[in-house]
Copies of this chain bind each other. A is one copy, B any other.
Amino acid sequence: MGTVVSIQQKPDRDSGIERLVGLVADDMKRVNEMILSRTGSDVTLIPEVAAHLIESGGKRLRPMLTIAAAQMFGYGGDGHIRLAASVEFMHTATLLHDDVVDESDMRRGKAAARMVWGNEASVLVGDFLLGQAFKMMVEVRSLDALEVLSDAAAVIAEGEVMQLVTAQNTATTEDEYLAVIRAKTAALFSAAGEVGAIVADRSAAERGALRSYGTNLGLAFQLVDDALDYSGAQAKLGKNVGDDFREGKVTLPVLLAYRRGDEEQRDFWRRSLTERQTDDSDLDRAIALMAEHRALEDTIARARHYGAMARDALEIFPASDHRTALNDVVDFCVNREF
């Protein structure tokens, strides 16, 4: 089952996703064409809103996982194109609805769609993209792929509601937080990988390996994302530093700083997150407390743990460019810039 990668391992700061991007480039061109053709509508508001988000330079990490997995198995059909586009539509629909729920102003470095076209358009265009995602999945005519992706859709929504409930609650445990990100983020990474194996008609063990890879990669990705919200350079982040703080989101960096802090510090966190009474200096204090308690470093250490599990899941497959590329993605996610 391969070597266990230690969580203390020094990450390779140069690793990127160039290898993956190169391997999937031709197929991703087809995915992008599919995406554009499926956002077409006589109702011009739909392609407008969709293009705002879809063409705003997201990395398309999730559909690339589907393509890379299918290619790794030598899949020769074209079902993976539609499945990958479905995965990206599910993701985009979630972003549109998230922005409404979070009342976000920015997304990927641009004004959030809801700031330009209103909450109404964000809700309804999200629904449209979800409907199109299901249409494309059905066209592939794989009931197993449909099962995995429709499960993911229900789990993602459940995770979003869970997050709504845990938000602003500093008593959230690390396990509860993990359950939220497992549902709202890791479920789609997991499904994206698994359907690549399904469309290539692989064994249950191989499907399971891709599922496990995706789940753990997704957990690592979200943990790093939550750390970046307190430390990222705004331009690279494409959103405002401190958004989570201002929205009262209780993420792992907060949980660690809260638990490790004294009563006066806990009062600060409760007041800031629960009662949402924050001013400009509060974010500075939050970041200082995280530094004091090594909350960001340890969040990243947790991310490395899941990254190691993701890498090990792939060890059942023979070495190949695609396996290496999928491993690179783990490094990329864990080492994203602060």
Binding site for B on A (CB under 8 A): 41, 43, 45-46, 97, 100-101, 119-121, 123-125, 127-128, 130-132, 134-135, 137-138, 141, 143, 146-147, 150-151, 153-158, 160-162, 164-165
Neighbouring B residues of A128 by C-beta, 8 Å: 154, 157-158, 161
Q: Is the interface of A mostly helix, strand, loop or mixed?
A: helix
List chain B residues, Cβ under 8 A from A143: 138, 141, 143
* B residues less than 8 Å from A162 (CB atoms): 43
Which listed residue (B123, B141, B153) contacts A131, Cβ 8 A? B153
A158 to B135, CA, bound (A): 13
| Residues A164 and B121 in contact, CB atoms below 8 Å apart | yes
**Which residue of B46, B137, B160 contacts A124 across the interface (Cβ within 8 Å)?**
B160
Q: Residue on B with the closest CB to A117?
A: B164
Within the complex, the shortest CB–CB distance from A135 to chain B, in Å, comes to 5
Name which residue of chain B comes closest to A153, CB basis: B131
Per assembly, the copies of the chain total: 2
Q: Which residues of B contact A46 (CB under 8 A)?
A: 158, 161
- In contact, A154 and B132 (Cβ under 8 angstroms): yes
Per the bound structure, the CA–CA distance linking A150 and B119 in Å amounts to 24
- A45: contacting residue among B43, B45, B134, B165, CB under 8 A: B165
Given A97-B123, A97-B124, A97-B127, 5 more pairs with CB closer than 8 A: A100-B119, A101-B120, A124-B160, A127-B153, A134-B153
Give 10 closest A-B pairs by Cβ, nearest first.
A131-B154, A131-B153, A128-B157, A127-B157, A134-B150, A101-B120, A124-B160, A138-B146, A135-B150, A124-B161
B164 touches A124 (CB 8 A): yes
Chain B residues near A137: list those with CB within 8 A: 150
Determine which residue in A41, A43, A160 has the highest number of CB atoms from chain B within 10 A of its CB, and name it.
A43
Write 25 A-B pairs (CB below 8 A) sorted by A numbering.
A41-B161, A45-B164, A45-B165, A46-B158, A46-B161, A100-B119, A100-B120, A101-B119, A101-B123, A119-B119, A121-B161, A121-B164, A123-B123, A127-B153, A127-B157, A127-B160, A128-B158, A130-B153, A131-B157, A134-B146, A134-B150, A135-B150, A135-B151, A138-B147, A141-B143
